[in-house]
């Protein structure tokens, strides 16, 4: 692969890394939002139970479970994205090193 090809690949890889990081941050925000909602509904359930309103407590637990389930699903997705970003960054560093090496070799020939 020539230097120009590697530089073109580097541009594409940087774009891929940027997109992956943006998606990871979006997933992380959604995860945190669902986690916060689950905690909020857990607290509301406890308040309703403390006031003796079992129906309201049960409804709050249903909502808490919905948000907790969503958070758990997002956590798995977030972990996968985190690993992908780590791999992409590693690939980016390796490609940058290859380009640097190729440039040094060209300079040595001059």
Query: What tens digit of pLDDT does each residue of 69-98 get?
Result: 999 999 999 999 999 999 999 999 999 999
Q: Using one digit for the tens of pLDDT, what is the confidence trace for 2-28? A: 888 999 999 999 999 999 999 999 999
3-state SS class at 32: helix
Q: pTM here? A: 0.84
- Any idea where the domains of the chain sit in the sequence? 3-104
Please write the tens of the pLDDT for every residue from 97-106.
999 999 998 8
Give the max Cα distance, the chain. Answer: 85
The span from the CA of 108 to the CA of 29, in Å, is: 49
Looking at residue 2, what DSSP letter applies?
-
Contacts of 91 (CB under 8 A, 6+ apart): 13
| pLDDT score of 110 | 66
Find the Cα–Cα–Cα–Cα dihedral 38, 43, 44, 47, rounded to 10°: 160
């Amino acid at each position: 692969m020539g230097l120009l090809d590697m530089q073109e690949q580097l541009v594409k890889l940087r774009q891929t890394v940027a997109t992956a990081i943006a998606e990871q941050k979006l997933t992380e925000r959604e995860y945190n939002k669902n986690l916060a909602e689950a905690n909020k509904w857990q607290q509301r359930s406890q308040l309703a139970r403390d006031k003796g309103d079992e129906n309201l407590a049960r409804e709050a637990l249903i909502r808490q479970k919905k948000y907790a389930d969503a958070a758990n699903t997002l956590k798995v997705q977030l972990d996968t994205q985190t690993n992908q970003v780590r791999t992409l960054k590693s690939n980016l560093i390796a490609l940058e090193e290859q380009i640097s090496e190729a440039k040094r070799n060209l300079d040595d020939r001059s």
